[in-house]
Amino acid sequence: FSDPFINRQRANDFIQTDTRLEAIPQDRIRKRIKTHQERQREICEDYRPCENYAFQHGYAAAYRHYFGRRRTK
């Protein structure tokens, strides 16, 4: 029978790296550009009532509650 655990030297053997030359710049661009949800979460985290609401209802619902509908008079 074989050991179910992988030793440290072989831990990353199953991960395939993308060796194409254009893959590295694309990865950097992907990491630099934030998704819509990340931006909404950061906005919500900066506003304390929104963050408290998010702990109970989630960040998407909290953002919609506080910033989703713009109140105009």
The pLDDT assigned to 21 comes to 65
- Span 7-59, pLDDT tens digits: 777 777 777 666 666 666 777 777 778 888 999 999 999 999 999 999 999 99
Residue 63 has pLDDT above 90, yes or no: yes
Q: What pLDDT score was predicted for residue 57?
A: 94
pLDDT (0 to 100) of residue 70? 63
Cα of first residue to Cα of last residue in the chain, in angstroms, is 73
Q: Which residues contact 25 (CB under 8 A, 6 or more apart)?
A: none
pLDDT given at position 66: 92
Q: Is the pLDDT of residue 71 over 60?
A: no
- Domain assignments of the chain as residue spans, ordered by start: 34-72
Instruction: For the chain, give the DSSP string.
Output: ---SSPPGGGTTTTPPP---TTHHHHHHHHHHSPPHHHHHHHHHHHSHHHHHHHHHH-HHHHHIIIIIS----
